[in-house]
Chains A and B, each alone.
Chain A
């Protein structure tokens, strides 16, 4: 035991290098797993098609107001254009939470234990997991971007690059959220519970499928829409993320775009910190 013999090659490596290598390993595992999960991939492709092509095209004619016979859009965009950035967010949301929830399976099927007895720090294990999930989520978000031309959303490379940045932030925050939820769950009843209890309510109340008319004042808005709905939308952090994405993709903002970036950054850090706190304790 005291002889240096076989331990030498590993012992000589710097601890940081070891942690980074492990981070890469865990990230790679997450990505590989997701690529091999057909169900997840099918969902990632069919969801945007349904939302953009079916719902978007179907509701397109109704997304306008008629004043004295003159047709105007509530916002200066077609419904298809309006909903497009939100569908990007939706696809990211589903995939992020789905990856994060696999923490439960890692726990049940012992994989987690295998990494917890490694020299990797807990923080790095969690970071690898969250980054992996976020990477897959951004990839699924990109699947939506491919539909841009069908939604009449012209994109420059710079737009795409900016959007990727925002998508990455959103994916990181949402994956952390998923891990926080997964850590608090002892037995798992299926992903449907998550999609119905977390993802869809967040999505529907984020001003993603209907705009809160920016031309109206705060008081007028509360006349047009019920008070509680406006309140929920305003308190939903996802509202600001979708808004920031909309700013980049179709150049339309209901709020200050910097607000979206700030909120995503804060939520990303806070949720990751909570996830890490739970993870360390478990």
Chain B
């Protein structure tokens, strides 16, 4: 297969592995994303989502396994794959000193979009993300939500058929997040486009076609949100025992039901009969009790055994902070 893409799936990932030193970031991940599908990769930070994204956008080589973008191998035919990709990275990647329009124009030039089409696309995409009035403002003057919108517009200037969005809504307020999803929805009505999104906001993936839950570099579940809730959705009981001794007792007694621990509270898999039994025995020794009906949140908890964790600041962040403090010749 030299030029013609394999028909079928827009993104094909087969047994992909990547190791960083002793950590296995990706451990034999396989899945397919169909044409025009809205596909979510859901997982806590450090689950391997971004590693997977970097492999898909051809800037990282996998140790083993195959990844195809529109039928093109990301390792063997990276240029052909890139031409089909529209990417929004987790970290902002705009040039702050250029204007909104210049940022889009640069992207068009770099992706070889002819002048006439470039102009037309820039106008269309600015309109889509409602930034037309900001076209001549420097990118640095935009709010973080507007920057994100601009990056989405940018990813669509060339003939992108497959959009990869890495945590597109992280750190944004609820209103901006809604807007971003509405742009993506509108876009999918106007243009044939496959969208792969990574996120750790569970509530956002309800409207997706399919959701893939990953953790520790492995695919834990892959289905429509409804099916996931039906199959993996386990009713959970969240209890906070009074005192340490009660806590230990409950933990040993129901060790087989333990679904996770979060701070003071204990999560147990449960059903109606179990709740009654537990209340009869420990009713007086529990400070609080909540029944969590199956939602994607509980699906996630029962699959990964934990809640979504937060990220620690690394070396990169500290250099970034230097720049933000006004380090020389940065922006």
Nearest residue, chain B, Cβ from A6: B159
A24-B109, A111-B93 known; A117+B323 contact, CB < 8 A: no
Q: Is B278 an interface residue (CB 8 A)?
A: no
Do residues B159 and A188 form an inter-chain contact, with CB atoms below 8 A? Answer: no
Give chain A residues whose Cβ lies under 8 Å from the Cβ of B10. Answer: 1
Q: Is B133 an interface residue (CB 8 A)?
A: no
Nearest residue, chain A, Cβ from B112: A18
Give chain B residues whose Cβ lies under 8 Å from the Cβ of A186. Answer: 315
Per-residue interface assignment for chain A, residues 35 to 46, with 1 indicating a CB less than 8 Å from any chain B CB and 0 otherwise:
011011000000
Give chain B residues whose Cβ lies under 8 Å from the Cβ of A5. Answer: 192
Could you tell me the dominant secondary structure of chain A's interface residues?
helix
Give chain B residues whose Cβ lies under 8 Å from the Cβ of A29. Answer: 95, 98, 102, 106
Do residues B159 and A7 form an inter-chain contact, with CB atoms below 8 A? Answer: yes
Do residues B112 and A17 form an inter-chain contact, with CB atoms below 8 A? Answer: yes
A39-B329, A109-B96, A109-B323 known; A119+B109 contact, CB < 8 A: no
Give A105 to B59 CA distance when docked, in angstroms. Answer: 18
Do residues B110 and A26 form an inter-chain contact, with CB atoms below 8 A? Answer: yes
Give chain A residues whose Cβ lies under 8 Å from the Cβ of B84. Answer: 1
Question: Which listed residue (B95, B113, B158) contacts A111, Cβ 8 A?
Answer: B95
* Least CB distance, A204 to chain B, in whole angstroms: 22
Give chain A residues whose Cβ lies under 8 Å from the Cβ of B327. Answer: 188, 190
Give A119 to B107 CA distance when docked, in angstroms. Answer: 11
Nearest residue, chain A, Cβ from B328: A191
Do residues A13 and B112 form an inter-chain contact, with CB atoms below 8 A? Answer: yes
Q: Is B114 an interface residue (CB 8 A)?
A: yes
Per-residue interface assignment for chain B, residues 93 to 106, with 1 indicating a CB less than 8 Å from any chain A CB and 0 otherwise:
11111100010011
Give chain B residues whose Cβ lies under 8 Å from the Cβ of A19. Answer: 112
* Least CB distance, B308 to chain A, in whole angstroms: 24
Do residues A33 and B110 form an inter-chain contact, with CB atoms below 8 A? Answer: no
A9-B117, A29-B95 known; A109+B330 contact, CB < 8 A: yes
Task: Give 19 A-B contacts (CB < 8 Å), ordered by A residue.
Answer: A1-B35, A9-B117, A10-B158, A19-B112, A21-B112, A22-B110, A22-B112, A24-B109, A102-B329, A105-B329, A108-B323, A114-B93, A117-B58, A117-B59, A117-B87, A118-B82, A118-B110, A190-B327, A190-B328
- B: residues with CB less than 8 A from A are 4-5, 7, 10, 35, 57-59, 70-71, 79, 82-85, 87, 89, 91-98, 102, 105-114, 117, 158-159, 161, 191-192, 315-316, 318-320, 322-323, 327-331
- A: residues with CB less than 8 A from B are 1-2, 5-7, 9-11, 13, 17-19, 21-22, 24-26, 28-29, 32-33, 36-37, 39-40, 98, 101-102, 105, 108-111, 113-120, 186-188, 190-192
